[in-house]
Structure 1
Amino acid sequence: MTTPPTFPALPGQGWSVHKKPVFSTRVASHVSGREVRAGLYAHALYEFELTFNGLDSSGEFAGLQAQSLQILMGFFLTAQGRLNTFLYVDPTDSAATGQFIGTGDGSTTTFTLGRAIGGYFEPVSYVTAIFGVTVNGAPASNYSFTAPNTITFAGAPIAGQAVAWTGTYAFQCRFLDDQMDFEEITSGAWQNKSVKFRSIR
């Protein structure tokens, strides 16, 4: 599996940043007034919206990173709008430390890497690095990683043993639009007030 490109981190990114968890629920109403509800997503998808207050196109604005306009625009063009996927590293949600992911039962060898947010646990979208895996608190090395987010042990962890991992991850995303609006606010300086994309599974 080829690793998708990573969304560029640019110094001209400003505030605010929007992050919106999204579920999909089908609701069927009965003549009695009762409702039947069915969740269509096992886990939330996330919509992001970023703002770039300053982008350099001429190399004159060193603090904005030289040709950051071309970097961002080129990234969008390479993705071909909504067509292709990329990775977004959310600075506030990109690392797991000693994260519990399951309990051995003596037969299961494959575990999905995930993270907890509050009291909610879900698989991470795309693992970018694994720094360690433990079984019952002891470091494990008899496993292999399969992108985007699973590990498989050569031998199943013993029943009752906790499996945990430490590492980093990103959100695998697609742009929400096939067009992107860049505005030149002064000679060589540009801005983009709304870059929208959404995670995928």
Structure 2
Amino acid sequence: MVMGYSKFPDIRRFSWESSKQQSWNTTVQKSASGRIRTMTNQLYPAWTIKASYNALTDEEARQLLGFVAERKGRYEPFLWLDPEDYRATGVTLVNTNGYYQALMNVGGYVEPVEYIEHVTVYVDGVKQADSAYSVEDGAIKFKTAPSGTVTADYTYYWLVHFSEDGITINKIFDNINKVSITLAVVR
């Protein structure tokens, strides 16, 4: 467990298809003259992730069924290590009240991440000892404030829950199972 949340089972090595949907809650007002005013109440987008696993073994299918049951469907959030978006390398971090928040960068759009591991921190390109800092809620805090540029490498997780209250696993052949899941990012 990381930060009290369970991790999704590591079944990423098999054939899969995925999609990510980003949505914003934007209000658009158009005046009689045609002028448009827009507003959003969201600081970050809502993300929906869909993944299909086409070749799960019977054991992996049972493991996934147990994981969903332990979460009680969509009741309990968990950590998702996305097959494509999970690693940050050489990210420049900004000091905010003594904390350096970890970030993910998706095509130039940056948002904070709260669940990281395998962290390596550098100050002015020099690797720092693990004892020089701590990591909490995706933020790096130094025991002694550094006086240079802080960069970091890390693995980050998405905090999600199942969009449905259960899953259906289809048995295709002996020891070959197929399942599709939809996840929603939790803030």
- Indicate whether the TM-score tops 0.5: yes
Residue aligning to 1:138: 126
Partner SS state of residue 7, structure 1: coil
Partner SS state of residue 82, structure 1: coil
Name the CA distance, whole Å, in 1 between partners of 2:50 and 2:175: 24
| CA deviation after TM superposition for structure 1 residue 153, in Å | 2.4
| CA deviation after TM superposition for structure 1 residue 179, in Å | 2.5
> Within 5 A, what are the aligned runs for 1:48-67?
48-57=49-58, 67=59
TM-score normalised according to structure 2 size: 0.83
TM-aligned CA distance change 1:56 to 1:31, over 3 Å: same
**Retained in 2: the 8 A contact 1:26–1:38?**
yes
Residue aligning to 1:190: 177
| CA deviation after TM superposition for structure 1 residue 135, in Å | 2.3
1:171 is the counterpart of 2:158? yes
Name the CA distance, whole Å, in 1 between partners of 2:45 and 2:64: 27
- Structure 2 spans left out of the alignment, 5+ residues: none
1:79 is the counterpart of 2:49? no
Which is higher, the Rg of structure 1 or of structure 2?
A: 1
Partner SS state of residue 17, structure 2: strand
Residue aligning to 2:25: 24
Partner SS state of residue 70, structure 1: helix
TM-aligned CA distance change 1:109 to 1:51, over 3 Å: same
TM-score normalised according to structure 1 size: 0.78
Deviations 1:137-182 (A, max 9, x none): 33345322112x1112234444xx3211112111111111112222
Name the CA distance, whole Å, in 2 between partners of 1:113 and 1:186: 43
Match of 1:118 among 100, 107, 111: 107
Residue aligning to 1:64: none
Residue aligning to 2:43: 42
Name the CA distance, whole Å, in 1 between partners of 2:15 and 2:6: 22
Partner SS state of residue 41, structure 1: coil
**Retained in 2: the 8 A contact 1:13–1:54?**
yes
| CA deviation after TM superposition for structure 1 residue 75, in Å | 0.9
TM-aligned CA distance change 1:34 to 1:4, over 3 Å: same
Amino acid at match of 1:16: E
Percentage of identical aligned residues: 26
Residue aligning to 2:80: 88
TM-aligned CA distance change 1:167 to 1:188, over 3 Å: closer
Query: Once superposed, what is the RMSD of the aligned Cα atoms?
Result: 2.5
Amino acid at match of 2:64: L
Residue aligning to 2:116: 127
- Structure 1 spans left out of the alignment, 5+ residues: 58-66
Name the CA distance, whole Å, in 2 between partners of 1:51 and 1:87: 17
* Matched residue count: 184
